[in-house]
Structure 1
């Protein structure tokens, strides 16, 4: 190999030259697991970055040129388990963008926060992985890496020094911080079928927006363009994901498919009809069935809410229609219906990608008004992570009251054109009091306020950007929450229908 990958966080820093460690540190070892598309991928042969470069110019080339993402498509060898052509080298260090999944914020703020609460950077392990591959494959790799990391950290001088400050004085255990798909990878690593019982040495698993019961958005990605024209980037994502095991592992597992008088789970034939791969559909459903018995030690779920989120779908002649509402059931398991016997649908919202109940395995949940891509960056999330890291005897974060968390939702397009106006709205809010919108160019850092007004009963900001780029729209609320989302602004005409087949 003719190049060198950058060393991972915590692998090359010396122990701090100080006699005593600060009291606000944990003795535990921390493992950070990113979500789908959250790891930089390179060619093992040439070192070329296939996914993860910074800058809107690279993103526009990747999503609008014929061969922009060709190297990410799985080969026949990879589909049969012969991997190694592509290697994951580090967590995302720059904001990026993906159709439908929208903005993906970097993990630098999360790593920096954890570094402030561990005894030494060597206590941190980041786990970049090839998110194209099955969750089960990456779970096995994570199990081996996490065991090696814990063993090395327990022998580190800073670990022994940290024990003096902790109430129970116990040796280090593992704390997993997992975003999105990373939570599924972590659960797979802890399923007990690997070389040892890693769960016994795990203190806490913190998941940030993990789709334990899947996401309707995965069905829309696979179905994109079937029967309706879509912009070129959305069609390119569909083509990439059509044979991607990792995307099939994110398909919804709950009763989400609307029929004439019922709501049921997707089966293999449904997934094939909407555009999924037959073998990958069967493998994904079988894998998740085997994961239902796996419990996560002291699981804390940080779940985004208040954001408009697809919860259910209809499938008609192979075409998916997604809805921001879903069925609910009585305590006896029967669906809630109206007087005429028709199924009623309710909106529970979510983080814009995963609806709130799909990200919750237990009642030990922290609800925060945060978008999915910002769940590893928002200050409210980082504060929650810091509190959990310092616990000696975990009691869990308090459950929110009936009124739910503060903040509100943010709705923006995932793709816009330079010179053309588009809107950012705060749905389900009936006043402008205390709300402000800002727009930031992620490359230059230039931020400007965006005027907003009530339009059709909803706070609305109309935005026009003259230069292509990756922009962050932020909504600042009266109760000090900041909800943000990334929007890719392309050249005029970028919204063309994909003609490349």
Structure 2
């Protein structure tokens, strides 16, 4: 039998690892689960960089991921989630999706036995409500199995002499919405949950979802074709419609309105999926039981983030500002009656106010959305919450957070593109490097130049591939973002 916590004798005073007795469930974000064909086992998502480029380059490259009418009607699914994402991925408008190896490793090192951890891959194509039901059942079984293991193991029973195990959810991005759906509809599960840690969860949605549904209408060339292929997939996915903004985000000049199912149809989405998603969002918003127990929200800041949109003739234009509202939801206006605009920044995908989720004390970290489940400072915070006895306020933000801004358009091998770092106006103490994610080789160290209020560099990557761009100043945590580089067009 394996040795439990504290069972190995060592000279000197007895000492145990700092662990939690709780049962931990790790819930990834959208596109953060590998998906396979249910019959053949063929990998559909979780692709190596070369396969990922081909998927976005071919007209039918993403067709296997589209949700069918039978799947929409709940008549089974031909796709099966197999694992949490193990390779970095890139999707237009999502700024890269990091794998969950570091998060899982840290959590497994923080529990009494590895069996206390449940990774929960799910079919992110389907609705949050559907996946919430599956998560509720899986979490209940996990807690019961772990409690039985504790009861049958003397050393583990000793660890739990103050209290029995409870559930802890560690949820990245959409995973926080799935967790809220699971707990909002299952009161008995809420009572058995100690805390929920969300990492960049878009509780109020993300304006990038509207851009995904608009496709490449505003773009030409390869970028437009790639965005059109993403749109052809996204319009079939209930999961993407669940991410549409649940706040007034449509700038109409003197007014700011919410998206409606008809407006979603006008920009390229599915009105029926939008209507179902909005009805579920309303339920979550109005139901008091939807508040997450012991909620700790990690919110990305200091990254340039789309916060609102403007729609003209079916084209969606991104805007990097939000609108100020008063206590009763009325818009604050200038002396000329124009709605006040304010750049609230965010994590590059979810703007900061959309990620708080009603948490009393959000923790603000200057990280990109994908890196919130990978960055060292975020992992240290999660470890602190898992092992806490008293309240933990979170790591300090430090002075002058860095932000990273990469091109929205497709990057082509051999062609120059512009990199921007915000939060500094001098390159002194600021470093930047670009690493190939497949070989981990450093391929470039861009020379930074000072702009008016930021830093910039012109970069040319000669080979196609998936790259990780990292910027860091001496006194701040590193900021990273993934970038997929395509082959030159013939």
**TM-score (norm. length: structure 1):** 0.90
1:449 deviation in Å? 2.5
- 1:410-449 equivalences under 5 Å are 410-414=404-408, 415-447=410-442, 448-449=444-445
1:231 deviation in Å? 2.8
Matched positions, count: 475
Tell me the alpha carbon deviations over residues 66-98 of structure 1, each in whole angstroms, 9 at most, x when there is no partner: 221111111111111112310000000111111
1:178 is paired with a residue whose SS is strand
What is residue 12 of structure 2 aligned with on the other side? none
In structure 2, distance between residues paired with 1:349 and 1:246: 24
What is residue 11 of structure 2 aligned with on the other side? none
1:240 is paired with a residue whose SS is helix
1:51 aligns with 2:39: no
The equivalent position to 1:351 in structure 2, one of 340, 347, 357, is 347
1:232 aligns with 2:228: no
What is residue 161 of structure 1 aligned with on the other side? 155
What is residue 254 of structure 1 aligned with on the other side? 247
8 Å contact from structure 1 (residues 40, 90) kept in 2? yes
In structure 1, distance between residues paired with 2:277 and 2:63: 24
Tell me the alpha carbon deviations over residues 95-136 of structure 1, each in whole angstroms, 9 at most, x when there is no partner: 111111121110000000111110010000000000000000
8 Å contact from structure 1 (residues 304, 356) kept in 2? yes
- 1:54-453 equivalences under 5 Å are 54=48, 56-157=49-150, 161-162=155-156, 164-165=158-159, 169-192=162-185, 194=186, 197-226=188-217, 228-229=219-220, 230-292=223-285, 293=287, 294-362=290-358, 363-393=360-390, 395-397=391-393, 406-414=400-408, 415-447=410-442, 448-453=444-449
Q: Which moved more, 1:94-103 or 1:25-34?
A: 94-103
Tell me the alpha carbon deviations over residues 291-310 of structure 1, each in whole angstroms, 9 at most, x when there is no partner: 12211000000000000001
1:450 is paired with a residue whose SS is coil
Tell me the alpha carbon deviations over residues 251-270 of structure 1, each in whole angstroms, 9 at most, x when there is no partner: 00111111131112212221
1:424 deviation in Å? 1.5
In structure 2, distance between residues paired with 1:160 and 1:274: 60
Q: Which moved more, 1:454-463 or 1:370-379?
A: 454-463
1:273 deviation in Å? 1.4
In structure 2, distance between residues paired with 1:291 and 1:250: 13
Structure 2: where are the runs of 5+ without partners?
A: 9-14
8 Å contact from structure 1 (residues 305, 350) kept in 2? yes
In structure 2, distance between residues paired with 1:15 and 1:45: 40
Cα 1:150/1:458, change in 2 over 3 Å: same
1:331 deviation in Å? 3.4
Structure 1: where are the runs of 5+ without partners?
A: 1-12, 495-501
Alignment root-mean-square deviation, CA: 2.1
1:478 deviation in Å? 2.5
Q: Which moved more, 1:121-130 or 1:291-300?
A: 291-300
8 Å contact from structure 1 (residues 255, 265) kept in 2? yes
1:474 aligns with 2:470: yes
1:232 deviation in Å? 2.0
8 Å contact from structure 1 (residues 15, 120) kept in 2? no
2:433 is paired with a residue whose SS is strand
Tell me the alpha carbon deviations over residues 382-440 of structure 1, each in whole angstroms, 9 at most, x when there is no partner: 000000000134x2425979xx8642110012531111111211124222222110110
8 Å contact from structure 2 (residues 5, 17) kept in 1? no
